[in-house]
A and B are shown apart, each in its own frame.
Chain A
Amino acid sequence: MSAVIVRRLLAFLATLLATSIVVFVVLEVLPGDPAQVMLGVDAEPDAVARLREKLGLERPTTVRYFDWLLGFATGNLGESYTYSVPVLELIVERLAVTVPLALIAMLLTTIIALAAGVFAAAHHNRPGDWGVMLFAQLGIAMPNFWFGILLVLLFAVTLGWFNAGGFPGWEDDALASFQALLLPAVSLAIVQSAILARVTRSSVLDVLREDYVRTARAKGLSKRAALWRHGLRNALIPVVTVMGLQFAFLLSGTIIIENVFYLPGLGRLIFQSISQRDLVVVKDVVMLMVAKVVIINFVIDLLYVVIDPRLRTAR
């Protein structure tokens, strides 16, 4: 068991290193002088030279790569050109919005999707199944910002229970900050849970056809007990896989939902730094997003091992 984990860990670190090289090289080989790109074509040559100096662009590529890598280890990511603050500070500030939002949305997604998916599978080809599938179809077809706007109209404008948007900040008002994330989280969760519910349903249906579920019934377990005790855990592998993809998506910051609700999340940071050509921020944020996907995949891999004992023997 531990041998398997050690091997996955090594693979994880190797992947992380490889992606850092790819991210670095891609931005390196982009045509044009980064300083010139950041300042625009009309910039004074003096200003460009000063920025090159400041960014250390004169140093050899490998030195800059390792410097950058070291920056991740030590938290020294350089300074944003447009915001004139350390990139780390900028990212942490945005993550304080995006991570809780992703967690709440994922929690809602998981609860809704597992309940609806298992319910639909247990009522296969009966009205309960059709009802869930109809809602899932609607949830997938409708764009999430549309749900967001509907929620704002209902809960903020008509009922006045929530603010229509904005984010007060955790230090200033933790409760209001939490509330500010609820409607966007629900808008995100509606679409995500519709997708995940479909995956859960079909996975549970597949498992219910397995021989060992019939064995469980032959032991005297009721249909429901056989499903919960013998079906669900086996059905989780595809569900967990999709959950990983969804969580990675949510953690990337969701530009549209953040804009609908005026949330200062990671999605808006990326959007802004790209439109302002702040390459320092772009490079770090891209690396962060790639790293996050790799980390989530690593965690999902470990979850597979927890779920399925056949994966525990090193092969």
Chain B
Amino acid sequence: MTLLAVEGLNVTLATDAGPVAVVHDVGFTLDRRETLGIVGESGCGKTMTALALMGLLPEAARTAGRILFDGEDLLAADEARLCSLRGDRLAMIFQEPTTALNPVHTVGHQVAEVLMLHRDMAETAALAEARRLLDMVGLPRAAERLAAYPHQLSGGQRQRVMIAMALACKPDILVADEPTTALDVTVQAQILDLIGELVRELGMALVLITHDLGVVGQVTDRVAVMYAGRVVESGPTEAIFAKRAHPYTQGLFKARPSHAGQGRAAGTAARLATIPGLVPDPRSPPPGCAFAPRCPHAIEICRRPPPLVAIGESHDALCHRVGEWT
């Protein structure tokens, strides 16, 4: 059954230079225990989409559309309701574990705080539970580490603490925004495996945001490819890996690390090819298909807004030329 349904999500940021639309008409669904990957280059609106799910967009953001969580529209929910959901039923892990943890509080306290907030635990009980959680996420010497400060841990260990914090209340949905991007290549795979394992064990749904298609293939059931604030292709991971319908998805495939097929550990990021050009500035979007200026298959018609074309069972692409190139 559908746990989360995002419908026609738009996010606009008020800036000094006027409103800037950074997320356009994004829609996807997530079932219980399902894992969804959101993939795209930097600046495509992935983080803004994730923050919209959490109700944590910057103050300057205006939204339209619906985010139905268990039938309840989060975009229409009041702040008190969102506070009771965040950390309890919706949790998020951020890209930078170094800045995401508070430098002046112990890691034990930071994990225990969630439990005290949502589970009405007393501090000692919450700290005991925090110790168990830190054990669970594989933080070595967890009992001692309760009293450690974030600066005393390595990057990977900090991200483990973030994971423990996010999973403390066994949320229904975990949103992980590029959880391994800031980490050493050697620990990236460990952290990713840990997230995959725990999500399965605890029966959570996962929204995994990444710019690396290789990561998605290992962990997720479904994929949404984002470009310039829009979902340009979405479908079951297998279907997309078998047949990428959008030229941007194709470009991301070609740009995968060279050994991606042979397991992530070898992914020392020697890129085969990169997509030429840059993600468009959301302040001056190109007319029609936003990818057209970089697309090797673009023709005259691509200057007009592209249609959503069904490729297969719940597999769609936003492109004029689906099937016209190989």
Instruction: Name A's B-contacting residues (CB within 8 A).
Output: 210-212, 214-223, 229-230, 233-234, 307-310, 313
Contact = CB atoms under 8 A, between A and B. Distances in A.
A230 B102 CA distance: 7
Contact of A222 (B79, B102, B165): B79
Given A211-B94, A309-B151, A310-B149, A218 B86 contact: yes
B54 A220 contact: no
Most chain B CB neighbours (cut-off 10 Å) among A214, A230, A307: A214
Given A219-B117, A233-B104, A211 B99 contact: yes
Contacts of A212: 99-103
B100 A214 contact: yes
Contacts of A307: 104
B137 to A, nearest CB: 16
A219 B113 contact: yes
23 contacts: A211-B94, A211-B99, A212-B101, A214-B56, A214-B100, A215-B100, A215-B165, A218-B86, A218-B91, A219-B87, A219-B117, A220-B83, A220-B84, A221-B113, A222-B80, A222-B83, A223-B79, A230-B105, A233-B104, A234-B103, A309-B103, A310-B103, A310-B151
The secondary structure that dominates the B interface is helix
Interface of B: 54, 56, 79-80, 83-88, 91-92, 94, 96, 99-105, 113-114, 117-118, 149, 151-152, 162, 165-166
A313 B153 CA distance: 13
Given A218-B54, A219-B165, A309-B104, A210 B83 contact: no
A113 to B, nearest CB: 21
Most chain A CB neighbours (cut-off 10 Å) among B85, B88, B92: B92
A234 B102 contact: yes
Nearest to B54: A218
A223 B91 CA distance: 17
B114 A214 contact: no
B102 A309 contact: no
B159 to A, nearest CB: 12
A307 B117 CA distance: 24
Nearest to A307: B104
A233 B96 CA distance: 21
B40 to A, nearest CB: 21
A214 B99 CA distance: 10
Given A210-B99, A211-B99, A214-B94, A220 B104 contact: no
Contacts of A215: 94, 100-102, 162, 165
Contacts of B94: 211, 214-215, 218
Most chain B CB neighbours (cut-off 10 Å) among A210, A215, A313: A215
Given A218-B56, A218-B91, 12 more contacts: A210-B99, A212-B102, A212-B103, A214-B56, A215-B100, A219-B87, A220-B84, A220-B85, A220-B86, A223-B79, A230-B102, A310-B149
A239 to B, nearest CB: 14
A313 B100 CA distance: 21
Nearest to B92: A218
Contacts of B114: 219-220
A211 B92 CA distance: 12
A305 to B, nearest CB: 12
Contacts of A211: 94, 96, 99-100
Contacts of A214: 56, 94, 100
B320 to A, nearest CB: 39
A311 to B, nearest CB: 10
A309 B84 CA distance: 31
A167 to B, nearest CB: 43
